[in-house]
Every structure is written in C-alpha cells, then in structure tokens.
Amino acid sequence: MEDLLTVPQAAAHLNTSVRFVRRLVAERRIEFVKVGRHVRISESALRAFVLAGTVATLTAHDVTGRAA
C-alpha cells in the first residue's frame, strides 16, 4: 500500500498553500481518500495531477509554422 499524505504534506510536496490543496479536493480536481473525516492524498495522485498540468515546450516549427 502506498503512503497517504495529509493536506499540509501534500501542499509541501506541491510547494503550494494548504488552501490550494483543499480547493483541489473540494473541486474534485485531484484524487483523494477519505479516512473517517480526514482527507489523505497519495503520492501517485500528486504525480498524476502534476503530469496532467504539464505543458510541453514549443519548437521553432510551432512558433513560426515552418521548419527551422
């Protein structure tokens, strides 16, 4: 079983505020687990969230529309 992080730990991993992580949970933009009334987030869910928001770099062709 994978380790589950608390909201403050998840915020530290993402280098964001606790409020931001709570908003992600409230908007169901990140996968989470309820343990009683506590919210826990797996490291794999954090990785998936980051990968989903990753934007690829542009190439010269993307910018100019022609081969470099």
pLDDT tens digits, one per residue of 34-59 = 999 999 999 999 999 999 999 988 88
List the domain range (segments joined by +) for residue 11: 4-54
Of the pLDDT bands very low, low, confident and very high (cuts 50, 70, 90), residue 60 is confident
Residue 59 lies in a domain: no
- Grouping H, G, I as helix, E, B as strand and the rest as coil, residue 1 is coil
Question: How much is the pLDDT for 2?
Answer: 85
Question: How much is the pLDDT for 65?
Answer: 76
41 vs 34: CA distance, rounded Å: 9
Cα-Cα-Cα-Cα dihedral sign, residues 24, 29, 31, 33: positive
Residue 66 lies in a domain: no
Query: In this prediction, what percent of the chain has a pLDDT beyond 90?
Result: 78
Counted domains in the chain: 1
**CB burial of residue 10 (10 Å; 0-12, 13-18, 19+):** buried
Residue 18 lies in a domain: yes
Residue 24 lies in a domain: yes
User: Can you list the positions of beta strands (E) in the chain?
Assistant: 4-5, 33-35, 38-42
Q: What global pTM score does this model have? A: 0.81
Question: How much is the pLDDT for 67?
Answer: 66
